[in-house]
Structure 1
């Protein structure tokens, strides 16, 4: 059977699809507020943000391509399955996928009904049911698009994404033409160390986790398109990764500049969504608000499709008894249910878990690129990821304890009280680590573990099992 190849248009469509999967509404909200706070230090803060919000996801996709879709192959099978499942659940039905509909509703729908009398009917239902109705419609569309993964590159990459990009380009041009006042003085951490603050801020996108999922999804889509040659798969995925990264960088730079020059439009804003909404409303009025709602809704929709498709594909392979299409329906229903828990509740529950898993994902990407330098790659992978996990667990527990303490949960829960006491006991030792206050206590120990493994590996001859 002759191996099929993609045309230039197909590769561009593949890159557009990857870009759309990454660009959720959260990616539109973080940069404007960061730019507003960074002010005159915007170039350095923007550079830091691009490193983690663009560089790491790009590295994640390339790592998946480099490992031929088997980025976790150096781990024990059980550990690899647990880690992969945790990532898919966190980025899928537990948090990221439900969040897409909530953010789409908050920015794309709620502004148009906020000033409506609560007793006025909307499509036969009262106002307080609007979120439920929107969520059901949103995930019904997600389900229909996800049921046919072979057509994803056509429906998302060649139809939805060009429309999304056209709207974003229009917004970017307007930012350049109608920029507000001069950049204000930097505030908070952006005044002291804008580069590192921008790096930490970039973690909020959580796209490094998503890159491991989307990379495997794209490889699977290429196989369904008849691309059987591994070198071609790697080549196409790498090209798609750079297209997606270029699109993300374009959006982030535009939105950073918008926030930094927003002037009075940003005063009193508590998040980037408010700055973006104020800007669009002033420059374009009601038509601008409609266009913004369309941008946000499309961004959230394409991301949700990517997440549901990836999760369904993974778990259908893990559990062959569950067909792909059945999982698409089940996950869409679960996402709709979880979304109605509320955005703040989802964030408070999920952040500690993300703090535990994210360091492992970053370390995994790093190990994949450094693999050829290791005499004992399996040993180095396992030790480094274990160190990242252990210190990441403490970072997560610290966040969980702080959340419980602020809500006085320890007064009613013995577990919460014990957790808070444990964190307080260990904190004096952990606080001596660099970057502890920024939630990255795992970074230095992990790098030390890598160096130690390199030294040990080169001081002894590797066995066949570890080579």
Structure 2
């Protein structure tokens, strides 16, 4: 195969892996709230929803291993615990969210049925596909993503060029920070450390055995995937901002995406998008359940029974959590994201920087510091925030849920200088 063609094919495949249909509901409401500050919020969103995930792919290009390799410099035990947490969070939050998005976009507008019924049928089908390893979904996925992208580009182009009411002033106090934190909800940084390993295996199966050849292909395909994500996310944020005067202020995420598609494409286009998003959500859910089941199967002696039990447990969790509305799932995800995302981000960055700056001691020091200083960030979603006010006031950026950033950076520099002095 022509090398340029292979880079583009890998780039589109990587784009499809990151392009979770559930993520589409996040950018429009962000733009809707940011309004005239939509570009600033788009930059913040891109930092955690595009740049960090693509850096995870670059880290895989250097490591060329598995998810376990990301944290092994901290300690083997830490890395195993980290991997288990990643997969537990994946089946407990983003997988059920796909069922909730499907209900609100594709079922609720046409049928007055309860969400529990939708999630029960949805995850019963997910379990069937996960246990039978059908290739139908992988084939379907190849067609779904291009179709959704085409429709979204139409929404963006029509939305940007349409004559809409003047954009009102934004209600966000810190648009850049809001964009950064909303980017957590895409789960794409977590996705990056997981799907990067899948990309490595697929390249090996296609005959790429040399380290440098795989590294070059991954980096270039990552750039293509990242560019595509930026265009889609920024476009949806922009359209959400431009139509901010056309919808009520209390509109939810799924209703806004459906409303924007109706405003730009009419009822047929809106219905078509809803069906495609539902199908794409389904393929994402199957991918998460099978990936998690595969991990625990490998962890526990390559047992097929473990695979089945994990898939069944994952689908039961999916039925329960997926029966709630999207907004509720996003809200309950916050503590988990505030806990796991900072650690994931520093692991990605430490695996990207040159090895001479990322010794085992640096890994340990930075990860421990990040964990300690991110405790107030996730605790304030569990206990009364006023109890943490005095602590938050003393930590820079803690009021913005980024209290771990400066301490982690300071420790990174300090430990490196200390090691350089000892050398």
Task: Look up the match of 2:303.
Answer: 322
TM-score by length of 2: 0.88
Q: Provide Cα deviations, 1:200-243, integer angstroms capped at 9, x if missing partner.
A: 33223221111111111222233344433333333333233222
Task: Look up the match of 2:75.
Answer: 76
- SS of 1:321 mapped into structure 2: coil
Task: Look up the match of 1:286.
Answer: 267
Partners of 2:10 and 2:313 in 1: how far apart?
24
Deviation of the 1:321 alpha carbon: 3.3
Task: Look up the match of 1:119.
Answer: none
Alpha-carbon spacing, 1:18–1:33, altered in 2? closer, same or farther (3 Å): same
Task: Look up the match of 1:453.
Answer: 415
Partners of 1:298 and 1:222 in 2: how far apart?
27
Alignment of 1:27-426 (within 5 A): 27-69=23-65, 70-91=69-90, 93-114=91-112, 130-136=117-123, 138-140=125-127, 143=130, 146=133, 156=141, 158-178=142-162, 180-189=164-173, 193-323=174-304, 326=308, 329-330=311-312, 333-343=315-325, 346-347=329-330, 349-374=332-357, 377-402=359-384, 424=387
Q: Provide Cα deviations, 1:350-406, integer angstroms capped at 9, x if missing partner.
A: 4222211111001111111224342x611001110011112223321221114xxxx
Answer yes or no: is the 8 Å Cα contact 1:146–1:305 preserved in 2.
Answer: no
Structure 2 gaps of 5+ residues are none
Task: Look up the match of 1:413.
Answer: none
Partners of 1:329 and 1:110 in 2: how far apart?
27
- SS of 1:450 mapped into structure 2: helix
Answer yes or no: is the 8 Å Cα contact 1:29–1:271 preserved in 2.
Answer: no
- Segment of structure 1 superposing worse, 341-350 or 94-103: 341-350
TM-score by length of 1: 0.80
Partners of 1:370 and 1:301 in 2: how far apart?
36
Partners of 1:298 and 1:327 in 2: how far apart?
25
- SS of 2:166 mapped into structure 1: coil
Task: Look up the match of 1:412.
Answer: none
Answer yes or no: is the 8 Å Cα contact 2:44–2:178 preserved in 1.
Answer: yes
Partners of 2:163 and 2:399 in 1: how far apart?
35
Alpha-carbon spacing, 1:144–1:179, altered in 2? closer, same or farther (3 Å): farther
- SS of 2:71 mapped into structure 1: coil
- SS of 1:264 mapped into structure 2: coil
Alpha-carbon spacing, 1:299–1:147, altered in 2? closer, same or farther (3 Å): closer
Deviation of the 1:45 alpha carbon: 2.0
- SS of 2:239 mapped into structure 1: helix
Partners of 1:211 and 1:200 in 2: how far apart?
17
Partners of 1:34 and 1:319 in 2: how far apart?
42
Partners of 2:178 and 2:333 in 1: how far apart?
22
Q: Provide Cα deviations, 1:142-180, integer angstroms capped at 9, x if missing partner.
A: 5278555xx987553x33322222222232232234352
- Segment of structure 1 superposing worse, 37-46 or 211-220: 37-46
Structure 1 gaps of 5+ residues are 115-125, 403-419, 462-467
Partners of 1:290 and 1:351 in 2: how far apart?
31
Alpha-carbon spacing, 1:146–1:235, altered in 2? closer, same or farther (3 Å): farther
Counting matched residue pairs gives: 418
Coordinate RMSD, CA, aligned: 2.9
- Segment of structure 1 superposing worse, 221-230 or 440-449: 221-230
Q: Provide Cα deviations, 1:36-78, integer angstroms capped at 9, x if missing partner.
A: 2222222222222222211111111111222213322312111
- SS of 2:382 mapped into structure 1: helix
